[in-house]
Amino acid sequence: MESNETLDDRSRLARVVLAAVLALVAIQSFRKGKRTRGVLAGVGAAALGYTVSGESDDLLESIDTGATDVMESIGTETAAEPGELRCASCGEPIVPGERRKPNEDGETVHEACLEATA
């Protein structure tokens, strides 16, 4: 756990420093009259600053835990991996590149499962 926290702290610090450097580049570019470079550096600094300030591991964990609790309370199985797509008909995972279609209820199913029920 500690090594992940250290890596996250270092990457966050690096993004803060990079955002500060881009802000300084933007200011210097505007002073020299190079507006395009100044705007691009300013947008980059704003984007990096937003990603650094917008991160909250506690918020992401609480959202993930809340979604899992809701899914368990209504009797729906949670996916083994976040973002894993499962067939509504057979329950098997749908792998990337596999043919799939929505059924009459709008749920995603394997094309073979859809043809088997028709």
On whether both 92 and 51 belong to a single domain, the answer is no
On whether both 48 and 93 belong to a single domain, the answer is no
Radius of gyration in angstroms for the set of CA atoms belonging to the chain, rounded to a whole number? 23
Let me know if residue 12 belongs to a domain: yes
**Domain of 35?**
1-55
Domain boundary among 38, 55, 72: 55
Let me know if residue 23 belongs to a domain: yes
Let me know if residue 32 belongs to a domain: yes
CA 32 vs. chain centroid, Å, equals 38
On whether both 51 and 93 belong to a single domain, the answer is no
CA–CA gap between residue 113 and residue 28 (Å, rounded): 62
Q: What is the pTM of this model?
A: 0.43
65-to-14, 58, 88 alpha-carbon distances in Å: 29, 10, 23
- The burial of 27, by beta-carbon neighbours within 10 Å (0-12 exposed, 13-18 middle, 19 or more buried), is given as middle
Comparing CA positions, the residue from 56, 1, 47, 59 lying closest to residue 23 is 47
CA–CA gap between residue 98 and residue 111 (Å, rounded): 9
Q: What is the count of structural domains for the chain?
A: 2
Let me know if residue 60 belongs to a domain: no
Tens digit of pLDDT per residue, the chain (118 long)?
455 566 577 888 888 899 999 999 999 999 999 999 999 999 999 998 888 877 655 545 555 555 555 555 555 444 445 567 788 888 888 877 778 888 888 888 888 887 877 6
Let me know if residue 47 belongs to a domain: yes
CA–CA gap between residue 69 and residue 5 (Å, rounded): 26
